Amino acid sequence: MPEGDVLRRVARRLTAALADLPLMRSELRWPGASGIDLVGRTSLGTVSYGKHLLTRFDDGRTVHSHLRMDGRWLVHRTRMPPQPFGRPLVRAVLATERWTCVGDELGMLEVVRTRDERRLLGHLGPDLMADDPDLARAAENLRGQGGRAVGAVLLDQSVAAGIGTIYLAETLWRHRISPWRPASGVEDPESVYGTAAALMRQSADAPTLTATGHRERPTPVHGRAGLLCHRCGSMIAVAPVGDPPYERPAFHCPACQPD
């Protein structure tokens, strides 16, 4: 599932594509939203919160979308006559006279009043991609998780929003913390979340997505099972973290990150 860095880049792209001009095409192909027409409305921009996207319009409404595992927003130049998008998994088409944004395989789509956005996001922890993320609250939330494996806690969006398996692995490797260490045994959780936030921001702002900001070595640990650890030379391993059926792969160095 895309993580906070990806969502930030998608939000920026949607903001740029839909800026300044009113919609000339609006198709929302989702139960509960299919009858809503946004033609004539102008986007005020798209923001991300964790793994959620909020596209706001000048009439006080917001299109809320979530990519889940396979979703994506594609941007094309608008064609005249309008290009048909008949693929069954196209969930949204929003177009100005310049650009057309196509929501393909979206995992969630709804329209809410902008003032009600908090109702959608209230169950989430602080957004780690915020300009000034509330790391203290994220750390406090983590401390309240007791004996849960810290890897599972980092993936829990109700604790802090934005981290997935990539930044779980990269963050804990940098802090030499095992993904299975109890959350209560993490000495400086604010620093842990600070690292995750910094890595995601680096990637969001880099010319291409990376987990580190460096093209030559994008991920020291994630996706490198069976290869040697850049730090100690031991073999990188991967094993599930979290409770079934929600366990996720945790890449780690058993030597650098002891339990």
Residues known to be catalytic:
2-3, 51, 248
Q: Where are the alpha helices (DSSP H) in 19-164?
A: 117-121, 135-143, 150-155
Please, which contacts does 251-254 make with residues 24 or more away whose CB atoms are closer than 8 Å? 251/165, 251/169, 251/221, 251/222, 251/223, 251/224, 251/225, 252/169, 252/172, 252/173, 252/178, 252/179, 252/221, 253/173, 253/221, 253/229
CA distances from 78 to 46, 97, 107, 121 (A): 19, 6, 24, 32
Tell me the pairing of strands 61-66 and 52-57.
antiparallel
- Residue 243: alpha-carbon gap to chain centroid: 21
- The CA distance from 119 to 51, in Å, is 15
- The CA distance from 181 to 176, in Å, is 11
Radius of gyration of the chain (CA): 20
Tell me the pairing of strands 248-252 and 237-241.
antiparallel
Using the 8-state DSSP alphabet, how is residue 82 labeled? P
- The CA distance from 257 to 60, in Å, is 48
